[in-house]
Amino acid sequence: MFKKVHDTVWAFDAEWVPDPAMGKMLYQLPESSTDEEVMQEMWSRGGATDEDPMPYLKTILCRIVSISAVTRSVVNGKVKLHLLSLPHDPSDEKQTSEAEILDTYLNAIGRYKPQLVGYNSRSSDLMIMIQRGVASGIQATDFCRRPAKPWEGVDYFSRGSDFNIDLMDIVGGWGKSAPSLHEMVTACGIPGKISVDGNSVASLWLNGELDNIVAYNEFDAITTYLLWLQVAHFGGFFTSNQFLDEQQRVRELLTEESERPSRSHLKEYLLEWDKVSSR
C-alpha cells in the first residue's frame, strides 16, 4: 500500500505498437516492406502461434502512440480533475511523433512532480517510456533527478518510492493469481474493456485510426483512476462519503468532456459505468 495521497496525482496509461522502423533495422528487412509486413515478421520472431498471433514483444521493439492520464490536484483545499491525452490532436503529424509525446509527458512529470499511478506500470508503461525516451534522444532532466536520500525528495526510479504507485504491485499477488486490469476492475464494478482491447491497437494504428486509439487509451486511464480511488478508500485515505464525492467528480468531468465532439466517446464510458455499477 502507498503511504499517502499526494496533492497531485496522475493515473496514467500508455498505448504502443510494434515499431516498423525498429523491425526493419533489427531484422535487416527490405526497405520496400510495408509496416504490416514488418510487424508480422516481428510477431513471428517473437513467438507467434495460431492461438497467439500477436505475442507480447519486448517494449524496446515498440513505439508509443498515445499516453492518457486523469490528473487530480488539490489547490487551497479544492479538488480539480483533468483528462490529459497525447497527442492532443491525432491529425497533427508533429504531435503524433513518439519523441514529441515522450518529451511533453516526461517533462510535464518533472515540472509538476505528481504521484504517478498505473497498473503494471513499473515494469511496463513507465519502463517503455524510459527505454524509448533514451532511444529517441530526448532529455527529461527533472523527471530523472533523484534525491540523495529516499525521504528527501521525489524519486520515480526507486522501487519503494511513494511517487511511483503500481496498483498491480498492491493487488497482484504472484504468478497466475495476479489479475489483469480488466479482471480487477470488473470485480470492483468499474468499466473494463468496452469496445476495444489491447490486441486491437496495432490494427487501428495500421488503419490510421489514431483517434480511436486515443479514445481507448482514455478509457484505460479513467479505469485506472477509478481503481486507484477504490484502493485508496480501502486503505483509509478517503472516508466512505469522500469516496462517493471523488467518484462524483469523475462523473462530472466525463459528462462535461463528453460534450466536446472529440470526446463524445466518453458518453459510452458513462453508460457502461452505470451498467456495471448497478450489478
Tell how far CA 239 is from the center of its chain: 27
Question: Residue with C-alpha cell 486507484?
Answer: 228
CA-nearest of 104, 103, 15 to 63 is 15
d(CA 73, CA 58): 34
What confidence tens digit (pLDDT) does each residue in 227-265 have? Answer: 999 999 999 999 999 999 999 999 999 999 999 999 999
pLDDT given for residue 194 in this prediction: 79
**Residue 267 CA to its chain's centroid (Å):** 20
Neighbours of 28 (CB within 10 A): 7
Is the sign of the CA dihedral 93, 98, 100, 106 positive or negative?
Answer: positive
**pTM for the predicted model, two decimal places:** 0.95
**What is the model's pLDDT at position 50?**
93
pLDDT band at 172 (very low <50, low <70, confident <90, very high): confident
Neighbours of 144 (CB within 10 A): 13
